Amino acid sequence: MSDIPPLIEGRMVTMRIAVTGSSGLIGTALVRSLREDGHQVVRLVRRSPRAEDEAEWDPRRQWVDTAGLMGCEAVFHLAGAGVGDRRWTDAYKKEIRDSRVLGTAAIAEAIASLDTPPRVLVSGSAIGFYGDTGERAVDESAPPGHGFLPDVCQDWEEAAGAAQEAGVRTAFARTGLVISAEGGAWGRLFPLFKLGLGGRMGSGHQYWSFIALRDHIAALRHILDTPELTGPVNLTAPTPVTNREITAAMGRVLGRPTLFSVPAPALRIALGEMSGDVLGSVRAVPRRLLDSGFTFAYPHVDEAIKAALTQEG
């Protein structure tokens, strides 16, 4: 039985959908996509509401104004401190973890407390779950890796337990590197490459599992509409490539030289522990998306880069 509303005279019934992290790169694009299709979106914000479509929550206090969730068919939980926004001090590592684990627990418990909970929770996660996989391709059946990010991802997903125990279909969107010129890690790469200052990082042999922003939004919508998708779902393109190959693709698409490179020791000095995320290799493949019939519009990196430059906004 489908857990989305049925068709009426060939038209999908619109839904009330709550979204956390709605001001971020992915959240902004998702809200726009949902509204374009006529859905009513409630944006959960960490301040007093300023608009009718907002409801307040506080992940640190693990508090949610459940009035904003009432009547929602689905919740997309995308909030979390940016992994690449700052150097990983002990304090910022705690913020990265707490923003995900405490926030997810708050949303899951709020959902479970409702007399009529949403049918679906799509909760953010990351391919950092797998750790450094080298050249080995991994799908959703792979075990967790070792280190800070794998530990955070495990705790992050486990924090949704209250929603799962309440019978809410729960999927974890394990996101790769999102190719976008509008923000995120890739948004910081584009200006460098446009100036001819881009180049490989470290050896360049490490795999960067990417996904075009538009494919990412389409995949989130696909999870919402596909009842059999529960648990982890890799949101990465089916053709992961190395940092060296990405560097060459950026040069081809932008028509700029890629002569520069950043040696691994320099990255470790500049980024500290976070350099492991840049130099590490995660060759993740979207097995569950493909098996469930999802079609990527931009499966190859050149296409995804061109889409980021010409089709966003």
What does the domain layout of the chain look like in residue ranges?
A: 16-179+211-236+284-295
Q: pLDDT digit string (tens) for 9-25? A: 434 578 999 999 999 99
Contacts (Cβ under 8 Å, ≥6 apart) of 115: none
CATH architecture of the domain with range 16-179+211-236+284-295: 3-Layer(aba) Sandwich (3.40)
pLDDT on residue 13: 72
pLDDT of residue 188: 84
Instruction: Kindly state the tokens that stand for 304.
Output: 């995804």
DSSP SS3 for 232 = strand
Low-confidence ranges of the chain (pLDDT < 50): 1-2, 5-11, 313
Burial state string for 216-242 with b = 16 or more CB within 10 A and e = fewer than 16: bbbbbbbbbebeebbebbbbbbbebbb
Name the residue among 194, 189, 291 with its Cα closest to residue 246: 189
pLDDT of residue 86: 78
For residue 294, what pLDDT is reported? 98
Residue 84, pLDDT score:
77
Give the integer Cα–Cα distance in Å for 131 and 276: 10
Alpha helices in the chain (DSSP H): 25-36, 90-113, 148-158, 161-165, 184-194, 213-225, 243-254, 264-271, 275-279, 287-291, 301-310
CA distance 207 to 108: 33
